[in-house]
Every structure is written in structure tokens, then in C-alpha cells.
Amino acid sequence: MVPPLVLDIDGTLTTPTGGIDPRAFEALPAWDAPIVLATGKAFPYPVALCHFLQIPEQVIAEHGGVVYADDEVRVTVDSERPWQAAEAFVDRGGDLGWGAADTVNRWRETEVAVNLDADEALLRAVAEEFDLDVVDTGYAYHLVTPGVAKGDGLRSVATALGLDPADFVAVGDSENDVSTFEAAGESFAVANADDRARAAADHVTDGAHMDGTLEVLAALQ
Ligand SMILES: O=C(O)COP(=O)(O)O
Ligand SMILES: [Mg+2]
């Protein structure tokens, strides 16, 4: 029997240029155990991905800010302080970097994402003033309320599914996956992972991006 999986999206199910690797569309629906997608992206993104993969909607979004399983959505924190900080950042000349429509933050409920091109020093200074963490996923900076973590999301999804978090095998690529690695029973960083993810994982794959994830799936069969 294969184990349940908790999978990061960006860097883990994607190609090096950032699209979903088409091999995910075969491998994930065929997996004979629950799959939870755990991402820093806003809630609609992983829901849409589950929809188009045709797998059950079991999702940890916004690093654990929004958790969805068993027909229940839990929003664990509000976005008031992150938005106050984002406004202060913009007032001081910063740019969130997503244009006027800002579809990156438009449906975000608990935090604010900032483009990697932004002024990092200014962002970190503002975050500190507002007592927020800056999470660098390698795809964006995120202004996150301390204590919000994908690993806590995994604990609540596991409970909703009648499972133990330690039943899960985790795959991820960045510092926002460290808490998932700690909560899951076994963890893999893909070869493109950042130093924090590599140090926290039980194993590091030979392959990068989806090659690494498929390597894990093959080893678990
Ligand atoms: O949205 C991001 O910045 C990264 O998302 P991820 O957690 O799926 O890698
Ligand atoms: Mg990632």
C-alpha cells in the first residue's frame, strides 16, 4: 500500500520554468492514497489544480493560513496586519510587483505576497516593524503572521481525513516546507531545494523539480 502524500507545488510539481509538469496529470490521479497539496499560493490556485488533476480537493494554501479538507474550509488568521505592512512598504516606495490587477494577492485571505524583484531590505525592515515574518519561497516573498505554517495545516487535514500526520510522506523545495517535513513521517527535498529545506528533509532526491518528485513516487511503490 502506498502512503498518503503532502506535496508542495512550486518547485516540486513544476518544470524548471514554472509550469505544472505534465507528468503530474498521470502520476497524481493514479496515486492510490490521499494527496494533499500544500502551497504558499492563494487558496484558489491549489483548488483549481486539484480540479484539473481530478483529485479530491485537499489543500493547504497560504502556508497554512487556509486549510481545506472534508468539505470544511478553515481560515486560521486574518490578513489585516500583513496588509498594513504591505501598505507601509508601498508608502515608502516599495512595489508589490504584480501590476494593477494583482491576481497574486486578489483572492489571498491571510497574507500578502511580494515579487522577488522587490526591495528586500525595505520589505524586511517593514515586516520587522509589524512583527511579521518574511518567507522566501524562491518564487515570492510572503508577509506572514508568525506561527502560520504548512505543518499545522497538515495536522488539521490529517485529522479531517482520519489519518495521522506521521502517515504522510512529504515532498518540497523551500523554507516554507520545513514545518511540513517536521510534521510528516518521512520527508524528501527535491534537488533544487533551498538550504533550509535540504537540512530539514530526511532525504534529498537526485532529480530536480518533478524529476525528483517522480523519483520519490517510484521509490514508494
Ligand atoms: O507561492 C509561492 O511563493 C510558492 O508556492 P509553493 O509553496 O507551492 O512552493
Ligand atoms: Mg515550493
Regarding whether 95 and 39 lie in a shared domain, the answer is no
The answer to whether residue 8 is catalytic is yes
Whole-prediction pTM? 0.97
Query: What is residue 116's predicted lDDT score, i.e. its pLDDT?
Result: 98
Regarding whether 61 and 39 lie in a shared domain, the answer is yes
Q: Is the CB of 139 under 6 A from ligand 1?
A: yes
Give residues with Cβ within 8 angstroms of 39, minimum separation 6: 8, 9, 10, 45, 46, 59, 60, 61, 62
Cα 97 to ligand 2 centre (Å): 19
Q: How many structural domains is the chain composed of?
A: 2
**Which regions of the chain are under pLDDT 50?**
none
Q: Which of 120, 144, 168 is the last residue of a domain?
A: 144
Query: What is residue 174's predicted lDDT score, i.e. its pLDDT?
Result: 98
- In whole angstroms, what is the distance from residue 50 CA to residue 22 CA? 14
ipTM for the predicted complex comes to: 0.99
Atom 2 in ligand 1: residue holding the nearest Cα: 40
pLDDT in tens, 67-103: 999 999 999 999 999 999 999 999 999 999 999 999 9
Query: What is residue 179's predicted lDDT score, i.e. its pLDDT?
Result: 98
Residues bordering ligand 2, an ion, CB closer than 5 Å: 8, 10-11, 173-174
Burial of residue 120, with CB atoms counted within 10 A of its CB: 0-12 exposed, 13-18 middle, 19 or more buried:
middle
Q: How many residues does the chain have?
A: 221
